[in-house]
Amino acid sequence: MAILIKRPAAIKPSEITDRALYFDRRRFLRASLLSTVGLPALLARPRIASAALTVHELPPGPFSTHETMTPYQDTTTYNNFYEFGTSKGDPSRYAGAMSTNPWTVAVTGACRHPAIYHLEDFIRPYALQERIYRHRCVEAWSMVIPWIGVPLRDILRRCVPSGDARYVEFTTLYDPREMPGQRSDILQWPYLEGLRMDEAMHPLTLLAVGMYGRVLPNQNGAPLRLVVPWKYGFKSIKSIVKIRLVKNQPVTTWMRAVPQRYGFYSNVNPAVDRVPWSQRYERRIGDFFKRKTLMFNGYGPEVAHLYAGMNLAKYY
């Protein structure tokens, strides 16, 4: 069945609880995106409106956890998105000002088919999947979020990476008019993140366009954000406009800002502290007691082989 999905603003809190239960019981999803506006526009704004689009119900994706999902109310009001301020409540308060439609994504660098896409064209060739993942921030809180998206590997294969493509660099939108945080230099803008090629091609790595059966709310990184569940939350870059295949390891925003705390890999690792935070325990949002943090955020069986033989205290 093809359905339309509502924008987050149109959701009543009462509905959200019902949807969460629905997901728990039914274990499949309704997802969606926006529809096509045609190809020619470039990365430039201003923007024209495009229509809402159709989606399909899908079976649940692989790797989904059966743990209790964090309520939508919490995952959409307790955010890190420094483009809108450094308090957890700032993104939900201010990110509504960001226009996400239309949106273009550039895929560039070491590949045979570099291109600039409208978001709709970028995503439409692929079947959307639901992935219920644990989400662990370096600040020692965690959540469980039902994302909707496409494995990044599917998208990278389409551009046919060349032999020089050893890393992938991601860039967030730069628009200080709509992102007030970018008017101050608390971080180097635009926000930049990176993955090694094999990490980017891992089937767990997702480009998300929705959560809880809806399009992504702005504060969670609309309209397109990365999700890398075995790494600390800051690797999961929001509101992506550029994906670049590169030969050398990118210098990411957080590495540049505080290199002794943020390394390139940033795999969740309870044995390596990140001053001022110990990484041994975490508080799941909504829980009273802390719980032990798991190596690779519990995704070790899937990803540990990527780091065989590496000293993970050195490559933190």
Under 8 Å between Cβ of 207 and 222:
no
Question: What is the Cα–Cα distance from 56 to 312, expressed in whole angstroms?
Answer: 41
> Is residue 185 classed exposed, middle or buried when 0-12, 13-18 and 19+ CB atoms within 10 A define those classes?
exposed
Residue nearer to Mo ion on the CB measure, 233 or 250: 233
Alpha-carbon separation of residue 54 from 13, 82, 136, 261, 265 (angstroms): 24, 32, 32, 43, 37
| Cβ 157 to ligand MTE shortest distance, Å | 24
| Cβ 234 to Mo ion shortest distance, Å | 4
The residue at minimum Cβ distance from ligand MTE is: 233
| Cβ 141 to Mo ion shortest distance, Å | 8
Residue nearer to ligand MTE on the CB measure, 220 or 297: 220
Q: Is 156 left (phi over 0), alpha (psi -120 to 50) or beta?
A: alpha
**In the set 205, 218, 220, 297, which binds ligand MTE (CB under 6 A)?**
220
- When CB distances are held under 5 to 8 angstroms depending on the partner's kind, the choice from Mo ion, ligand MTE, none that residue 236 binds is ligand MTE
Q: Which of residues 122-161 bind ligand MTE (CB under 6 A)?
A: 135, 137
CA angle 189, 191, 196 (to 5 degrees): 140
Q: Is 140 left (phi over 0), alpha (psi -120 to 50) or beta?
A: left
Q: Answer positive or negative: Cα dihedral of 149, 153, 158, 162.
A: positive
Contact between 82 and ligand MTE by CB under 6 A: the answer reads yes
Binding-site string for ligand MTE from residue 164 to residue 193, where x marks contact by CB under 6 A and - marks none? --------x------------------x--
**In the set 32, 70, 79, 252, which binds ligand MTE (CB under 6 A)?**
79
What residues line the site for ligand MTE (CB under 6 A)? 79-83, 135, 137, 172, 191, 220-221, 233-234, 236-239
